Structure 1
Amino acid sequence: MTLTPEIKDAFPLEVLEVIRTSLCPTATDPEFLLFAHKAASYRLDPFKNEIFFIKYGNQARIQFAAEAYLAKAREKEGFQPPDTQTVCTNDNFKARKYKNEKGEDEWEVIEHEVTFPRGAIVGAYSIAYRDGYRPVTIFVDKEHISHVYTGQNKDNWNKWEPDMIGKHAEQRALKKQYGLEFGEENIEQPPLQNVDPYDRKDVTPEAEKHETTTPPKQTGQGDDEAASRMKALKAQVKANYKKLGLTDKEAMGTHMQQFCKVNGTEPTEAELKAYLKIMDMQIQEKQAAEQAEDTLPE
């Protein structure tokens, strides 16, 4: 790969190698180059979960975590910590809208008193302060983002609701106050037939070794044991499809065609084990993305 000047300045080669193998194991060279360039240009640390590389099947995505906005805001002149709070049904909460000097609508919190038990969360707000600037207040009404509670990241939103809704409000406030805009993006992929086979040599060298020879035919108890192992492997592949969000046969077949190298008409035991290792890495990427996925359209 030809590294950009930004990448060379930000990451030593040995660090790039660790990022490539541990954080972006399924990335192609162009995908990794773009990811590393984004991280270097914005001075974001992949090891601190400020920027993620995510790949579902053939679709790659670069995602920025809420922590990235806070980290970049700290670098700005006049930074002050934001005030982020949840609002519950039993809280005494009042806010008002006013016109700023530019004639734009602004909001400010007049009163927020907490009574226990607080009741269910109905929203959140974040006030982004900055020396020499008016505070920026962002409100989030739970009803307006109800789709996140049933969407792809629903488990985290329902389990960690106070943190998730608060981070969402805080991120939007920081973006507006400090002019932060990273811009997530999907990396366009060529049609499947034009995609190079996935290279697993660095992941499962033992699988490549076994695939070059024809396994001896087993009989009797050996046949039963081999069939039992294959059945268990196939069951695990099926379970991993579900974890990756692949529910229809066409999507499963496309995924296997891309990431499972099969020399014969049916995958061998070694080939399925190698495929499962690749799937495990993709599941880890997906889980990491779900933990950080609190960037939502405004």
Structure 2
Amino acid sequence: MSKQTQLAPVNTQVVVGNFTQTELDTLKATIARGTTNEQFALFVQTCVNSGLNPFLNHIHCIVYNGKEGPTMSIQIAVEGILYLARRTEGYKGIECQLVHENDEFKFNAKTKEITHEIGFPRGKVVGGYAIAKREGFDDVIVIMEVNEVEHMLKGRNAHMWKEWFNDMFKKHLMKRAAKLQYGIEIAEDEPVSGNTLDTTASYEPRQRIDITPNTNVVEVNDDEFIDPEAETKKRWDEIHAKLQQYGMTKDDLKQLIVKHFNKKPNELTLQQLVALSKFIDMEHQTRQSAVQKQESFDPENLQFSFDEFEQGNLD
């Protein structure tokens, strides 16, 4: 007999993306501790769709007590933003500097040229800038004054901003520049573009995942506040755009709403609209996968493969 080809070992524990059940258990008990099963499912979905790894400090799950129970905030770390940026074609890096009151700083808005000279003692921070570079594209420059981020000192991450203000300010600048230059659609309140999964399993894989009326999932971007009414309209506009893009009908939408929420469309909360958008993505991926499997099945090619196998030389 001829030598058999050694097959690579298969991890039969992989249940969601590249997460094993053991890793899911660890996430639920540590990084996503305190989340409901529904909230945890959405957090894992975001990790899988974006390719961000919570174990590598790319993405955080913050749970706090809201008026309606546990509230989850999904936040993308600057490490996660840079991870996605480095995978973008033409990536040439991001420069970031803080400007102190004793520095000499000038920015020519017409030529996009920055002159920054540092003197000591530098004094307190008065502003900062980040430059994101990409081959074949103009540099993206983000310039901010300190007063533009002062509201962060009163947000949910206030302790971080008060204790490490300079570091947090620089990360904020880098995130903004990276999103603009590298086309990273990563507002923390919606799925990140990237490789998606057909379906996303729950923390309890034998149970169906529902987003119930009691689920309160609020995903924010660096503690920036939003207008709920305007945000709701924005969500509906995005949902209708997805339906058109995916070739789905209003009946498809109604079925998803009934299946996951058992509500009328105008009764959905802002948090449930966020979840609905994700369920639409998942449904689209499921349909695409089914079509691809059907197209890839070719009886003639299958027969040819069997004939080849039968004619092969076996020791």
2:33 pairs with 1:21: no
Query: Conserved in 2, the CA contact under 8 Å of 1:65 and 1:295?
Result: no
Tell me the equivalent position of 1:248: none
2:136 pairs with 1:142: no
Q: In the alignment, which of 91, 102, 108 is matched to residue 79 of structure 1?
A: 91
Change (3 A) 1:54 1:112: same
1:92, CA displacement in angstroms? 0.6
Query: Conserved in 2, the CA contact under 8 Å of 1:52 and 1:63?
Result: yes
Q: In the alignment, which of 87, 93, 97 is matched to residue 105 of structure 2?
A: 93
Q: In the alignment, which of 13, 29, 41 is matched to residue 33 of structure 1?
A: 41
Q: 1:185 is paired with a residue of what secondary structure?
A: coil
Query: Conserved in 1, the CA contact under 8 Å of 2:102 and 2:119?
Result: yes
Tell me the equivalent position of 2:176: 172
Unmatched runs of 5 consecutive residues or more in structure 1: 1-5, 99-106, 196-288
Q: TM-score, normalised on structure 1?
A: 0.57
RMSD (CA atoms): 2.9
Deviations 1:82-118 (A, max 9, x none): 11000011111110113xxxxxxxx724310000001
Residue type of the partner of 2:38? P
Residue type of the partner of 2:74? I
1:34, CA displacement in angstroms? 1.0
Tell me the equivalent position of 2:18: 10
Q: Distance in 2 between matches of 1:68 and 1:295?
A: 17
Deviations 1:215-245 (A, max 9, x none): xxxxxxxxxxxxxxxxxxxxxxxxxxxxxxx
Which segment is superposed worse, 14-23 or 164-173? 14-23
Q: Distance in 2 between matches of 1:115 and 1:170?
A: 23
Query: Conserved in 1, the CA contact under 8 Å of 2:131 and 2:139?
Result: yes
1:134, CA displacement in angstroms? 0.8
Q: TM-score, normalised on structure 2?
A: 0.54
Query: Conserved in 2, the CA contact under 8 Å of 1:86 and 1:166?
Result: yes
1:42, CA displacement in angstroms? 0.3
Residue type of the partner of 1:86? L
Q: Distance in 2 between matches of 1:189 and 1:49?
A: 29
1:150, CA displacement in angstroms? 3.6
Which residues in structure 2 correspond to 1:249-264 (within 5 Å)?
A: none
Q: Distance in 2 between matches of 1:178 and 1:296?
A: 22
Aligned residues: 187
Change (3 A) 1:85 1:295: farther
Q: In the alignment, which of 121, 124, 127 is matched to residue 125 of structure 2?
A: 121
Query: Conserved in 1, the CA contact under 8 Å of 2:33 and 2:63?
Result: no
Q: In the alignment, which of 57, 66, 69 is matched to residue 49 of structure 1?
A: 57
Change (3 A) 1:158 1:53: closer
Change (3 A) 1:173 1:295: farther
Change (3 A) 1:63 1:152: closer
1:65, CA displacement in angstroms? 1.4
1:22, CA displacement in angstroms? 2.1
Q: Distance in 2 between matches of 1:163 and 1:108?
A: 25
Q: Distance in 1 between matches of 2:136 and 2:89?
A: 10
1:11, CA displacement in angstroms? 1.3
Q: 1:55 is paired with a residue of what secondary structure?
A: strand
Q: Distance in 1 between matches of 2:60 and 2:212?
A: 18
Deviations 1:166-186 (A, max 9, x none): 111111000000011222239
Residue type of the partner of 1:125? Y
2:72 pairs with 1:60: yes
Deviations 1:240-292 (A, max 9, x none): xxxxxxxxxxxxxxxxxxxxxxxxxxxxxxxxxxxxxxxxxxxxxxxxx9xxx
Q: Distance in 2 between matches of 1:90 and 1:38?
A: 43
1:144, CA displacement in angstroms? 2.2
Q: In the alignment, which of 182, 189, 192 is matched to residue 186 of structure 2?
A: 182
Query: Conserved in 2, the CA contact under 8 Å of 1:84 and 1:126?
Result: yes
Query: Conserved in 1, the CA contact under 8 Å of 2:134 and 2:181?
Result: yes
1:8, CA displacement in angstroms? 2.6
Query: Conserved in 2, the CA contact under 8 Å of 1:95 and 1:110?
Result: yes
Deviations 1:18-58 (A, max 9, x none): 21222223222211111111101100111122112222122
1:77, CA displacement in angstroms? 0.9
Tell me the equivalent position of 1:159: 163
Tell me the equivalent position of 2:112: 108
Tell me the equivalent position of 2:196: none
